[in-house]
C-alpha cells in the first residue's frame, strides 16, 4: 500500500512516533490525530487508504465516514481495539499487523453488521448469562470461563429463560424462550461461533443468529466445557441451539432486553439486525477468512428444536433452569409406550425366554462360549428390567408390578427349562463356563451397572437402540439363570446359590443404574425419584456384601497364583497353578522335575507352598518328569 493516511488516537502518540511511523516510512503521506465528532472534517482525500490506530469506540465514528468517502481501512492493534481486532482477524502483534498492511496491494469489499443503526465489529449478545459462551478468547480461556461459571451460580436469576419474538424475511414470527441470543457477522467473531459455524465469511452477505435455549444447567455446562476444547467448526450444533442465517432479523420482547453490542451494555424492546453487503473496504487481518468465490450463501432456519407453544413457553420461562432437564409428558410419550409394552408378558417374550435358557443350558454343558453368546442375544429379559427401572424411578405402581410379574414369569420358565434339561442330560461334571458363574464379585456388579446405564440410554435414544444386543451380551442375564437351574437339577446348592447371587446382582445393578440414567435424562424430578433410587441402592448394598467377600477371595487367589508361578523347590518347578477350593485352600498344580517325585518330595513341596502363601494348603498335583 502507498500513500497511506495514518489516523491515530492522540493518547497513543508516543507509540505512533516510536513504533509505527518509522516502520511505514515513506508510505505514510499524512498523519492525522482523531478528534471526537470531527471525522467528517478531516482533510482526507476520497478513496484514500486510511490506516487506523484507534480504539473500538473511535472506530465506530470512523466507519460511517469510511463508507461514505470510500476509504480503504487498515487496522493496527490499539490496546483498546478488542472487538474490531477480533471481527477483522487482526494480529495482536503490532509489527505483524503492519506487515499485513504493507504487503497488500488493495483491500476487499466486506459486509458490515448493523444493530439498531449502529455498526457492529464483533458480536451482539442478548442475555447476561451468555457471556459464559460468547466471550472472546482470553490468554487463558478455560480459567476465564470458570470465573464466569462461578459468577452465574452466584446469581441464579441469570439462568432464567425469557421470551423472545424473532421475525425475519417472509417467515412467520417465531415465539420462543431462551437464555439469550448471540448474533455475529461471520464464524470467526466469537468463541462459540468459531466452534459451531462452518462456511461463514465476512463477505457472504449474511448474518448469523444463535438462539441458546438449554433445558438444564448440566446441558449448559456440558456444552460450555466441550466448546472450550473444541476446534473451529469441529463441533455439531447442539439440539438446544437454534440457528438463523439471513440478511436481516428483528428480535423483540414485551419488556426491555439488556444486551451488549461489542461489550457495550444497552437496553431496548426491539433489536434490529441487518447486513450492509460490500459497503466497507478493508485490508483484512491474517486471521480473517474471506470467501474468494463470492458464492451466494444460502439462508438457514434451524429452529425446530427451540421451545415453542404457549403453554410450554409459560412453564419453561417461569423458573430458572433446573440442574437436570425434566422431559414433558409429550416428549417421553413414545418411550413410555415402548416400556409399557415391554412390561407385558407376551407370548413372544415367554417363548424366547424358554428357548434362550435352553440354548444357554446346552452351551454350558458343552462348555461352548459361542453358543452361550447366542443365548445372551436371544434372551429378552433386559427389556422388562429396563421397564422396571422406569417404574421404580417414577413410583409408577402399575408399571413396576407389571414389570416384576413379567420378569418373574420369565425366570420361572427359565428355571423349569434348565432343570428339565439337567435331569435329561447325562453330564454331571463342572466345567469352566459353569464354574465362572458361581463365584460372583464386585466386578460383576460393575458390569451390571454399566449395562443398566447403556440399556436405559439405548431405550431413551432411538438412534442408539441397535446397541441393545451388545448390552445383552455384556450383562449376560440368562447364563447365570441356567447355571442356577443346573444347580437345582444336580442338587448342588453351592452352584445354585452362587449363580442365583450373580443373577440377583445383575438385576439389582441394572435397575439402579437404569433408574439413575433415566433421571439424568430428565424423565423424573429428583423429589419423585428419591424413594425409588434409595430402595434400589439399598438392595444393591445388600447384594454387595457377599460380592465383597467374593472379590476378596478372587484377589487372594490371584495373588496365590502369581506368587507360585514358576515357584521352585530344589529341582522341582511348580506350573499351571489354579485354586480349586478356598476352605481349606486346595490348589491344582503341575510339578515338573527331571527326576521321579516321591511322597517325601511331595511333602516338601507342600510345606514350601504353605510357607509361601501363608496358610495350610491341599495339593492336587500332576507330576511331569522331563527326560
Copy the grid coordinates of residue 248: 436481516
- Closest-CA residue to 277 (of 211, 186, 190, 167): 186
The pLDDT score that the predictor gives to residue 135 is 42
pLDDT in tens, 173-202: 999 988 889 999 987 766 666 667 777 888
Angle at 231 between CA 228 and CA 232, to 5 degrees: 115
Burial tier of 494 (Cβ tally within 10 Å: 0-12, 13-18, 19+): exposed
- Residue 173, C-alpha cell as written in the block: 414470527
Region 600-624: what's the mean pLDDT? 87
Find residue 176's DSSP bridge partners: 164
Q: Is 571 exposed, middle or buried (0-12, 13-18, 19+ CB in 10 A)?
A: exposed
All cell numbers assigned to 167: 421475525
In the chain, % of residues over pLDDT 70: 85
Distance of CA 131 to the CA centre of its chain: 21
Contact 302, 243 (CB under 8 A): yes
End-to-end CA distance of the chain: 93
What is the per-residue pLDDT for 445?
Answer: 86
d(CA 340, CA 610): 58
Q: 562: pLDDT confidence band, cut at 50, 70 and 90?
A: confident
Cis peptide leading into residue 607 (ω within 30°): no
Considering the chain, what is the average pLDDT of its residues? 84
Please give the biggest Cα pair distance in the chain.
115
What's the confidence (pLDDT) of residue 154? 59
175 or 152, greater pLDDT: 175
Confidence check: pLDDT of 610 > 90: no
Average pLDDT over residues 14-41: 91
Alpha carbon of residue 137 to chain centroid? 22
Q: How confident is the model at residue 150 (pLDDT cuts 50, 70, 90)?
A: low
pLDDT at 58 over 90: yes
pLDDT at 254 over 80: yes
Q: Among the residues of 173-294, which ranges form H helices?
A: 191-196, 217-228
CB 442 within 8 A of CB 550: yes
Mean pLDDT throughout 549-572?
84
Strand segments, DSSP code E, in 560-610 are 567-569, 572-582, 585-593
Query: By the 8 A CB rule, do 8 and 21 touch?
Result: no
From the list 611, 612, 609, the residue with the least C-alpha distance to 620 is 609
pLDDT at 530 over 50: yes
- Give the confidence band of 372 by pLDDT, cuts at 50, 70, 90: confident
Query: How confident is the model at residue 239, as a pLDDT?
Result: 78
Phi, psi of 613 (to 5 degrees): -90, -10
Alpha carbon distances (Å) from 513 to 37, 407, 505:
66, 17, 12
Lowest mean pLDDT among 128-137, 275-284, 484-493: 128-137
Please tell me the distance from the alpha carbon of residue 100 to that of residue 75, in angstroms, as a whole number. Answer: 10
pLDDT for residue 67: 92
Number of Cβ atoms within 10 Å of the Cβ of 627: 4
As a whole number, mean pLDDT of residues 413-437 equals 88
pLDDT tens across 100-110, in order?
Answer: 999 888 899 99
| Position 391 pLDDT exceeds 70 | yes
Q: Name the residue with higher pLDDT: 190 or 589.
A: 589
pLDDT of residue 486: 93
* Gap between the Cα atoms of 472 and 388, Å rounded: 16
Question: C-alpha angle with apex 60: 59 to 61, nearest 5 degrees?
Answer: 85
**Phi/psi of residue 159, nearest 5 degrees:** -95, 20
Given a cut of 80, is residue 416 above it in pLDDT?
A: yes
Per-residue pLDDT tens digits for 277-331: 888 999 999 988 787 665 556 888 888 888 887 766 776 777 777 766 666 555 5
Q: Across-strand partners of 183? A: 124, 209
| Range from 23-27, 75-79, 268-272, 471-475 carrying the lowest mean pLDDT | 471-475
Give the separation between CA 46 and CA 527, rounded to whole angstroms: 70
Amino acid at each position: 500500500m502507498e500513500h497511506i493516511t495514518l489516523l491515530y488516537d492522540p493518547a497513543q502518540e508516543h507509540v505512533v512516533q516510536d513504533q509505527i511511523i518509522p516502520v511505514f516510512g515513506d508510505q505514510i503521506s499524512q498523519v492525522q490525530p482523531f478528534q471526537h465528532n470531527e471525522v467528517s472534517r478531516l482533510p482526507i482525500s476520497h478513496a484514500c487508504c486510511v490506516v487506523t490506530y484507534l480504539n473500538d469506540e473511535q472506530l465506530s465514528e470512523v466507519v460511517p465516514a469510511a463508507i461514505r468517502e470510500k476509504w480503504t481501512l487498515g487496522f493496527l492493534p490499539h490496546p483498546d481495539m478488542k472487538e474490531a481486532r477480533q471481527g477483522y482477524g487482526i494480529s495482536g502483534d503490532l509489527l505483524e499487523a503492519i506487515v499485513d498492511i504493507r504487503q497488500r496491494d488493495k483491500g476487499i469489499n466486506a459486509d458490515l453488521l448493523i444493530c439498531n443503526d449502529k455498526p457492529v465489529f464483533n458480536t451482539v449478545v442478548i442475555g447476561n448469562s451468555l457471556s459464559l459462551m460468547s466471550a472472546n478468547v482470553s490468554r487463558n480461556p478455560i480459567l476465564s470461563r470458570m470465573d464466569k461459571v462461578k459468577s452465574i451460580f452466584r446469581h441464579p436469576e441469570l439462568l432464567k429463560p425469557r421470551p423472545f419474538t424473532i421475525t425475519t424475511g417472509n417467515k412467520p414470527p417465531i415465539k420462543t424462550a431462551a437464555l439469550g441470543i448471540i448474533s455475529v457477522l461471520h464464524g470467526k467473531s466469537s468463541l462459540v461461533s468459531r466452534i459451531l459455524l462452518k462456511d461463514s465469511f465476512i463477505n457472504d452477505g449474511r448474518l448469523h443468529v444463535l438462539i441458546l435455549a438449554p433445558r438444564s444447567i448440566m446441558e449448559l455446562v456440558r456444552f460450555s466445557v466441550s466448546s472450550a476444547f473444541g476446534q473451529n467448526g469441529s463441533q455439531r450444533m447442539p439440539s438446544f441451539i437454534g440457528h438463523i442465517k439471513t440478511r436481516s432479523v428483528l428480535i423483540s420482547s414485551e419488556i426491555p432486553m439488556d444486551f451488549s453490542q461489542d461489550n457495550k451494555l444497552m437496553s431496548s424492546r426491539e433489536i434490529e439486525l441487518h447486513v450492509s453487503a460490500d459497503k466497507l473496504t478493508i485490508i483484512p487481518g491474517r486471521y480473517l477468512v474471506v470467501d474468494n468465490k463470492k458464492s451466494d450463501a444460502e439462508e438457514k432456519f434451524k429452529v425446530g428444536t427451540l421451545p415453542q407453544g404457549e403453554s410450554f413457553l409459560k412453564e419453561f420461562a417461569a423458573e430458572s433452569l433446573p440442574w437436570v432437564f425434566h422431559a414433558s409428558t409429550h416428549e417421553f410419550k413414545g418411550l413410555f409406550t415402548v416400556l409399557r409394552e415391554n412390561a407385558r408378558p407376551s407370548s413372544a417374550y415367554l417363548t424366547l425366554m424358554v428357548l434362550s435358557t435352553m440354548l444357554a443350558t446346552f452351551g454350558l454343558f458343552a462348555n461352548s462360549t459361542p453358543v452361550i453368546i447366542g443365548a445372551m442375544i436371544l434372551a429378552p429379559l433386559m427389556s422388562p428390567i429396563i421397564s422396571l427401572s422406569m417404574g421404580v424411578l417414577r413410583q409408577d405402581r402399575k408399571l413396576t408390578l407389571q414389570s416384576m410379574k413379567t420378569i418373574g414369569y420369565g425366570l420361572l420358565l427359565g428355571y423349569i427349562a434348565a432343570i428339565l434339561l439337567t435331569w435329561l442330560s447325562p453330564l454331571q461334571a463342572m466345567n469352566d463356563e459353569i464354574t465362572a458363574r458361581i463365584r460372583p464379585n464386585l466386578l460383576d456388579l460393575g458390569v451390571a451397572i454399566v449395562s443398566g446405564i447403556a440399556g436405559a440410554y439405548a431405550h431413551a435414544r432411538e438412534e442408539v437402540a441397535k446397541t441393545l444386543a451388545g448390552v445383552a451380551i455384556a450383562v449376560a442375564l440368562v447364563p447365570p439363570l441356567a447355571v442356577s437351574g443346573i444347580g437345582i437339577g444336580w442338587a448342588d446348592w453351592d452352584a445354585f446359590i452362587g449363580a442365583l447371587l450373580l443373577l440377583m446382582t445383575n438385576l439389582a445393578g441394572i435397575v439402579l443404574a437404569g433408574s439413575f440414567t433415566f433421571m439424568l435424562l430428565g424423565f423424573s424430578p429428583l423429589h419423585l425419584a428419591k424413594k425409588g433410587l434409595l430402595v434400589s441402592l439399598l438392595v444393591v448394598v445388600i447384594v454387595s456384601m457377599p460380592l465383597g467377600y467374593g472379590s476378596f477371595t478372587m484377589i487372594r487367589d490371584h495373588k496365590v497364583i502369581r506368587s507360585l508361578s514358576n515357584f521352585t523347590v530344589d529341582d522341582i518347578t511348580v506350573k499351571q497353578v489354579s485354586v480349586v477350593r478356598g476352605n481349606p485352600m486346595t490348589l491344582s498344580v503341575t510339578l515338573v522335575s527331571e527326576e521321579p517325585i516321591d511322597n517325601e518330595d511331595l511333602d516338601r513341596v507342600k510345606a514350601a507352598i504353605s510357607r509361601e502363601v501363608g496358610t495350610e494348603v491341599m495339593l492336587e498335583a500332576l507330576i511331569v518328569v522331563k527326560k
